[in-house]
Each structure stands twice: as structure tokens, then as C-alpha cells.
């Protein structure tokens, strides 16, 4: 796991706290603050574990994109927990979540990030299709070895492991 300095952890925790203070003021509700972890893996910048009131953040993506991460990913994930608390089960990026993002946090309701994840240590295996090469993660490659098939989104051909 990547090392993240105490200072960076504290900055993110302060941003989480600030998001909760903003939400409490604007929604006139007291929310239980979540557990914050820095153990998210893969290409996902963060996730909200609703039932356990936990936020998980990717330490390398955070470290490489600090200010933008604090301004966008943290409110995005906090909004998921707030929606769960206020409305229960809803569509993950549905109307309620979008409303929290735009009206409470005054941030765009973006579903995904566009951070460069080429150098965060994700191993991949090259596959081919009619379009060319596509890198699959080790997890997907292992699923192929167990019988799964993946298709190219552009040409709809089944991906085949590249032979060297």
C-alpha cells in the first residue's frame, strides 16, 4: 500500500469535516461523521460504504491530484453517505445525489473522475481486438482464465490475449 503522509491524511479529514459542517448547516440536520480510510485500490478514486458509514480513498490518486481531489472527490463521496442517511436506498448518482452535489456542495454532479491512472501501480495484460490493443487488469485477466469473455466497446469483437 502507498505511504500517505500524516499531513495529507489530516487535510483530507478536514475536508470531510468541512463537507459535513456545510451539509449540517444547509440541511439543518446533524449527521454522524464517517470513518475515513485510505485503502481504496484500482482506478477508483473513492467510495462510500453506506451501511458502515465509511469513506475509502485511493492514496496514490489523492497524492497525485491533491487540490482537485479535495474539492471534488471528497464531496462526491460524502454526498453518497448523506443521501443514504436522508433517503435510504436510491440510485447511486440519482436525483437526490445530484441535488446534494449541486445545491449543498455547489459542485458539478460528475459521476467519474478523469485523473491519469497510468502510473498508480495497476498491473495489466495486453489483449487485442479489431481496433488494436486493450489493457485488461489482472482481475479481469484472471476472470478470462476462468472462462469470462470481454468485448471491445468500439468494434464489439471478443478480446483475445496478445501473444508475444
Q: How far, CA to CA in Å, does 71 sit from each of 78, 132, 144?
A: 11, 36, 37
- Copy the grid coordinates of residue 108: 458539478
Query: In this structure, are residues 100 and 23 in contact, taking their beta carbons and an 8 Å threshold?
Result: yes
Distance, first Cα to last Cα, the chain? 31
Q: What is d(CA 158, CA 39) in angstroms, rounded to the nearest whole number?
A: 33
The region, left, alpha or beta by phi > 0 then psi within -120 to 50, assigned to residue 42 is: left
Q: Is the dihedral of CA 121, 125, 129, 133 positive or negative?
A: positive
Q: Which one of the listed residues 33, 77, 133, 157 is annotated catalytic?
A: 77
Instruction: Cell 464489439: give the residue.
Output: 156
Tell me how far apart the alpha carbons of residues 64 and 66 are, in angstroms, rounded to a whole number. 6
77 is annotated as an active-site residue:
yes
Catalytic residues: 77
Amino acid at each position: 500500500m502507498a505511504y500517505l503522509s500524516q499531513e495529507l491524511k489530516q487535510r483530507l479529514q478536514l475536508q470531510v469535516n468541512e463537507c459535513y459542517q456545510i451539509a449540517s448547516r444547509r440541511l439543518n440536520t446533524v449527521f454522524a461523521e464517517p470513518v475515513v480510510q485510505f485503502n481504496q485500490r484500482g482506478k477508483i478514486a473513492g467510495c462510500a460504504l453506506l451501511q458502515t458509514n465509511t469513506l475509502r480513498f485511493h492514496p496514490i490518486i489523492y497524492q497525485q491530484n491533491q487540490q482537485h481531489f479535495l474539492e471534488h472527490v471528497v464531496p462526491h463521496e460524502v454526498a453518497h453517505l448523506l443521501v443514504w442517511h436522508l433517503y435510504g436506498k436510491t440510485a447511486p448518482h440519482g436525483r437526490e445525489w445530484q441535488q446534494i452535489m449541486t445545491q449543498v456542495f455547489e459542485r458539478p454532479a460528475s459521476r467519474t473522475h478523469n485523473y491519469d491512472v497510468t502510473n498508480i501501480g495497476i498491473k495489466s495484460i495486453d489483449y487485442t481486438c479489431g481496433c488494436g490493443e486493450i489493457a485488461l487488469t489482472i482481475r479481469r485477466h484472471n476472470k478470462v482464465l476462468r472462462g469470462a469473455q470481454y468485448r471491445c466497446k468500439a468494434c464489439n469483437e471478443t478480446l483475445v490475449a496478445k501473444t508475444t
